[in-house]
Amino acid sequence: MTTWIVNALYLDGEGEAPVRRHLKVENGKVAEWADGSTAVDTAGCEVIDAAGKLLTPGLIDMHVHLREPGFEHKETIASGTRSAAKGGFTTIACMPNTRPVTDTPDTVKFVRNKARSEGVVRVLPYAAITKNELGRELTDFAALKEAGAIGFTDDGVGVQSAQMMKQAMARARSLGLPIIAHCEDDSLVEGAAVTEGAFARRHGLKGIPNESEAIHVGRDILLAEATGVHYHVCHVSTEQSIRLIRLGKSVGVNVTAEVCPHHLVLSDEDIPDSMDANWKMNPPLRTPRDVEACVRALEDGTIDIIVTDHAPHSAEEKAKGLERAPFGIVGFETAFPLLYTKFVKTGRWTLGFLLRRMTCDPARVFGLNAGRLDVGAPADLVLIDLESEKEVDPGSFLSKGRNTPFAGWKLYGWPALTMVDGRVVWTEQSGIIEA
């Protein structure tokens, strides 16, 4: 099948200003680009009139929780990938803190097969570093790689033992796969729900200190230097972690890092006094000083990419209140509009910069054939309406999770159409388009 997307404003992560273009998609691939001022012959083709919307490579999210197998009441591969498509994402990498934990080749294959049969975007599975994510015994890295795992992580918890982490890095290195680390020293956390800061003081709560994250970051950078592994830091949230990553990069350690939209736009001072658990995630919202450090680190390349850490939970679980509810917020359906509105609309970032950190940079960091729309590349793309303002309505999410602190926010930059492998999988008008 041949499709022409006409009258688009094209920009990818390598350009600075959008250009008017038409795009021909054939057999799932980018087939031809034409200048927007010329007319193209679309006879016999499907035609999508982009009508001046932004056309860009599909967004990539290297840190998401799809909850299947085991927590299907929170999310499934079907619902999570539909939510991703609606958010403009075409490639996502899912975390192994499922039930059972994704720590065997069979579970990796289960996730891949389910994604193929029921998913609507590309799903890349991570496998656990330790069995059951208990930090006691390493998984079989070679067999997990063979089954299709793209990297190793115990996300949800930190690997507490330095010796265990060092062995994991040595094995990952020998297989040419990265270690992706949720950095958290349990001995410093003590069951707290929010960061050490103004909110915790006001409510007399124990706080999660910045060092609980940064100690692991520093430890692991030294271990990555010793082993030569590609070491990727999850959801960076503190100024101290950033300092260490900057130092690691400056001496040539193969360290990369990610940051989440919520850590770029919210601080602990924004948490409402109602103690709403939709403001609870791990790592927690930090101080305004940490937020500014994260934004600057993303700007100067110390932090390489943006990820959502999409972490759906049921309404019942989140109703337990700030102290008892599980950590996590959903992210797919708000990420781009949020960052576009807060950083591009305000003039702090160019649109090209935001796109770079959500498309070609994640592809580069993880060696993916994605994030660009050269002729011959898979036609994974998104059309985005940069003009209309809409309110975040959790009731309209395709995710099963409604747990977001952004309900009611008025944002610009809403995806209008998502295409994966040359097939339109979602449009604003029709919703999900089943194959």
Q: Which does 33 bind (CB under 5 to 8 A by kind): Zn ion, ligand DOR, none?
A: none
Q: Which residue among the candidates 12, 103, 290, 309 is catalytic per the annotation?
A: 309
x/- letters, 165..184, toward Zn ion (CB under 5 A)? -----------------x--
Q: Which does 384 bind (CB under 5 to 8 A by kind): Zn ion, ligand DOR, none?
A: none
All residues at 6 or more sequence positions from 80 whose CB lies less than 8 Å from its CB, including other chains: 64, 65, 66, 67, 68, 92, 94, 310, 312, 332, 399
| Footprint of Zn ion on 129-148 (CB under 5 A) | none
The token pair at 48 is: 């999508």
Give kind and range of the element (H or E) at residue 203: helix 198-203
| Footprint of Zn ion on 8-47 (CB under 5 A) | none
When the beta carbons of 99 and 201 are compared against ligand DOR, the nearer one is 99
Q: Which does 50 bind (CB under 5 to 8 A by kind): ligand DOR, Zn ion, none?
A: none
Whether the link from the prior residue into 125 is cis, omega within 30° of 0, is no
Q: Which residues bind ligand DOR (CB under 6 A)?
A: 65, 97, 155-156, 182, 281-282, 309, 311, 326-328
x/- letters, 302..321, toward Zn ion (CB under 5 A)? -------x------------
Three-state SS for 171? helix
CB of 73 to ligand DOR, least distance (A): 13
Residues 32 and 150: their CA atoms lie apart, in Å, by 31
Residues 93 and 73: their CA atoms lie apart, in Å, by 20
When the beta carbons of 22 and 67 are compared against ligand DOR, the nearer one is 67
Q: Which does 338 bind (CB under 5 to 8 A by kind): ligand DOR, Zn ion, none?
A: none
When the beta carbons of 328 and 415 are compared against ligand DOR, the nearer one is 328
Q: Is 140 a catalytic residue?
A: no
When the beta carbons of 22 and 219 are compared against Zn ion, the nearer one is 219
CB of 315 to ligand DOR, least distance (A): 15
x/- letters, 56..75, toward Zn ion (CB under 5 A)? --------------------
When the beta carbons of 94 and 303 are compared against ligand DOR, the nearer one is 94
CA distances from 146 to 81, 115, 137, 171, 174 (A): 24, 17, 19, 14, 14
All residues at 6 or more sequence positions from 261 whose CB lies less than 8 Å from its CB, including other chains: 306, 308, 331, 334, 335, 338, 339
Hunting for tokens 């800061």 — which residue is that? 197
> What is the Cα 321 distance to its own chain's centre?
26
When the beta carbons of 239 and 309 are compared against Zn ion, the nearer one is 309
CB of 74 to Zn ion, least distance (A): 13
CA distances from 71 to 99, 308, 404 (A): 7, 19, 19
Q: Which does 335 bind (CB under 5 to 8 A by kind): Zn ion, ligand DOR, none?
A: none
Q: Which does 328 bind (CB under 5 to 8 A by kind): ligand DOR, Zn ion, none?
A: ligand DOR
CB of 281 to ligand DOR, least distance (A): 4
Give kind and range of the element (H or E) at residue 305: strand 305-306
CB of 97 to ligand DOR, least distance (A): 5
Please tell me the count of residues contacting Zn ion according to CB under 5 A: 4
When the beta carbons of 304 and 317 are compared against ligand DOR, the nearer one is 317
Q: Which of 427, 393, 385 is nearest to 410 (CA)?
A: 393
Q: Which of 235, 240, 243, 244 is nearest to 264 (CA)?
A: 235
User: H helices within 126-161, ranges in order?
Assistant: 141-147
What residue ranges bind Zn ion (CB under 5 A)?
A: 155, 182, 234, 309
Q: Enumerate the active-site residues.
A: 309
